[in-house]
Amino acid sequence: MFPAELTIRNVRVRPALVLAPMAGLTDTAFRHVIRGLGGCGLIMTEFTSSEGLARNHARTLHYLFFSEDERPITAQLFGADPAVMARAAGVVQDLGFDVVDINLGCPAKKVVKCGGSGLLRDLPLLRQILRAVRAAVTIPLTVKIRAGWDEKSIVASEVARMAEAEGVEAIAVHPRTRVQGLEGHADWSIIREVKQAVRIPVIGNGDVRQPEDAVRMVEETGCDAVMIGRAAATNPWIFRQIEQHLAIGRYDEPSEADRYQLLSGYFRMLVDSQMPDAIGKMKQFACWFTHGVRHGALLRREVHSARATAEVLERVDTFFAGVGAPALELRAQAGGDA
């Protein structure tokens, strides 16, 4: 049976569905979109550099802006220096976050050099980091891990037992290796093994693309909650759809009008908030979201060729007004520039 809620010490997550941290995507504007659509019990920030945060770097602090209506909310940190991670976790607590999470899963090269999934190759250092962060904060501490560095070093259960022993209160498991990146198959049996290895809550993550997948993940692994990342970027309604599926066995699909309202509203939120590099965020989100839009490739091309936020908004309005897609198709067939 799908869990009704997840409890991480004193933090109640209801429903037991979590928005995964995604660099460049899970900013406060997108988190408000997810909260507004409903169905998500816990949201997470973009992963944030502990080095920048410990230095009170203004740009880094900007990543951790949140409003009260986003609660419960987790701030995720990455880094490889125990003392620096501890100071950064203290900043997170002082900012008022409900939970602090340590990123042990990011496969990006620039992150692996200073934390992320790179720590799965140095468990003694990882233990020092967990111990230092746990001693530095009183709010709940969680971690998000991968299966291991590669298929010859699957350490998820070992890391989970270590984390539990050091006071970590929940663990999210993405059962791909660092070498896999986002390719290949997520081996859910690893989530089941971690669940059997520890007493703390285990959150399953990976290859949940539609509501039925979330239900199947719980059935196959026994996990205590489901975390969704990429599918939420292409279909932000997925959390609500899971709730509908659990309640009545079916779920609503967003209409073209729904998609327009969400995309336009999100882009306008970015502009109104005067977010740094708003146009960059527009283009990044368009890469994901437009995969669910009819003629999405053409819309992506329009957004990516825009040079200003106002131009992006105008092109989105035109596209969804019903004249954009046909016009773009004709121009594409003629080899013209979008």
In this predicted model, what pLDDT tens digit does every residue of 258-283 receive, in sequence order?
Answer: 999 999 999 999 998 877 788 998 99
pLDDT digits (tens, 9 = 90+) for 99-118: 999 999 888 888 888 889 99
Q: Whose structure tokens read 């001693």? A: 135
Where do you find CATH 3.20.20.70 in the chain?
Answer: 6-248
Q: Is the pTM of this model over 0.85?
A: yes
Distance CA(4)–CA(18), nearest Å, equals: 13
Grade residue 333 by pLDDT with cuts at 50, 70 and 90.
low
23 burial type by CB count under 10 A (0-12 exposed, 13-18 middle, 19+ buried) = middle
13 vs 24, more confident: 13
**Residues acting as catalytic residues:** 106
Closest CA to 159 of 180, 139, 178, 143: 143
Rounded Cα–Cα distance for residues 267 and 279 (Å): 9
Strand partners, 75: 100
Separation of alpha carbons 244 and 247, rounded Å: 5
Strands 6-8 and 11-13: what pairing? Answer: antiparallel
Overall CATH class of domain 6-248: alpha beta
Tens-digit pLDDT profile for residues 63-98: 899 999 999 999 999 999 999 999 999 999 999 999
Check: CB of residue 39 under 8 Å from CB of residue 240. Answer: yes
